[in-house]
């Protein structure tokens, strides 16, 4: 009897997979909205620190803002993969079960039996499940479903990205990488321009004697989040002037923020008082 229930609990269930894929998409949308609202608040807080000339505090705070900002696009890409798999559950169901019927070489067959047209989607979702399991718990259930179908070796390969099949944009947007110093300074300059901070001095952020390392000491350390900060590519993400047409601010993830014209709380009142002219 115990063996019967153990087999039942580990058997692949396409309906369960599809349900968890759809629920994961819904959860991701909720997290996206949460990040968008949080970024608005955090950008205003960073602007206030810049207005008070607390540059090092702003430099430290902006790292989390950048991660959240870039994560918005990562969630969008992940949601597309989840939607794709949800609509192709029948292809996953038709995969032979021999890859999980034994051990050793049989289990490794899951690597070869995965449909090539779904490999990037499946491995990307499994990789993201290991990164976002606490944020989107439904992804853990999705991971278990794929383990039941393709085997533990396939899941381990996906999490480690051993075959480099995980989508690069997901790795860059959802990985735990520290933004480069140049990227952070570029973002701070954009915030200062957005809120028209009087007396903003970018050179203070480049000072090598400050508590925060300068670009010259960190240019070869860490991985930059999002696109390169080179001015030749920056224009596609952030307007070089900081204020695109119509006063709308475009963040690194492509999210558009309306210009601050009317104060909605005490913090924005102080920021408006600091605007030029």
Distance CA 154, CA 111 (A): 6
Q: What is the pLDDT at residue 227?
A: 39
Three-class SS state of 198: coil
What is the pTM assigned to this prediction?
A: 0.70
Distance CA 245, CA 56 (A): 30
Residue 137, pLDDT above cutoff 60: yes
pLDDT in tens, 81-107: 999 999 999 999 988 765 554 444 544
Q: What is the mean pLDDT of residues 14-33?
A: 96
The single residue listed with the structure tokens 């004697």 is: 209
Q: What is the mean pLDDT of residues 118-137?
A: 94
Whole-number average pLDDT of the chain: 78
Tell me how far the alpha carbon of residue 91 is from its chain's centroid: 28
Domains of the chain in start order, with CATH, are 14-174 (1.20.1260.60)
User: What H or E segment, with its residue span, contains residue 129?
Assistant: helix 116-132
Q: Residue 249 pairs with which residues in a beta bridge?
A: 257
pLDDT in tens, 157-208: 999 999 999 999 999 999 888 888 889 999 999 999 999 998 898 888 887 6
Are residues 91 and 118 in contact, defined by beta-carbon separation less than 8 angstroms?
yes
Three-class SS state of 257: strand
């Amino acid at each position: 009897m115990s063996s019967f229930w153990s087999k039942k609990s580990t058997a692949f269930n396409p309906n369960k997979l599809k349900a968890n894929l759809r629920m994961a998409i819904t959860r991701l949308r909720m997290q996206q909205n949460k990040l968008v609202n949080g970024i608005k608040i955090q950008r205003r807080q960073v602007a206030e620190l810049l207005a008070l000339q607390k540059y090092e505090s702003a430099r430290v705070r902006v790292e989390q803002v950048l991660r959240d900002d870039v994560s918005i696009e990562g969630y969008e890409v992940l949601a597309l993969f989840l939607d794709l798999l949800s609509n192709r559950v029948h292809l996953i169901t038709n995969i032979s079960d021999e890859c999980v019927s034994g051990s050793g070489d049989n289990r490794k067959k899951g690597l070869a039996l995965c449909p090539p047209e779904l490999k990037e989607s499946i491995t990307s979702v499994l990789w993201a499940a290991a990164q976002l399991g606490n944020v989107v718990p439904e992804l853990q259930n999705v991971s278990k479903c794929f383990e039941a179908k393709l085997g533990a070796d396939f899941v381990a390969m996906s999490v480690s990205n051993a075959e480099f099949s995980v989508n690069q944009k997901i790795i860059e947007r959802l990985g735990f990488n520290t933004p480069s110093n140049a990227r952070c300074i570029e973002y701070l300059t954009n915030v200062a321009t957005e809120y028209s901070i009087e007396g903003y001095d970018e050179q203070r952020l480049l000072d090598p004697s400050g508590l925060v390392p300068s670009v010259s000491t960190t240019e070869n350390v860490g991985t930059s989040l999002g696109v390169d900060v080179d001015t030749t590519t920056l224009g596609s993400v952030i307007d070089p002037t900081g204020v695109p047409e119509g006063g709308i601010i475009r963040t690194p993830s492509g999210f558009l923020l309306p210009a601050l014209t009317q104060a909605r709380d005490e913090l924005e009142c102080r920021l408006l008082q600091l605007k030029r002219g």
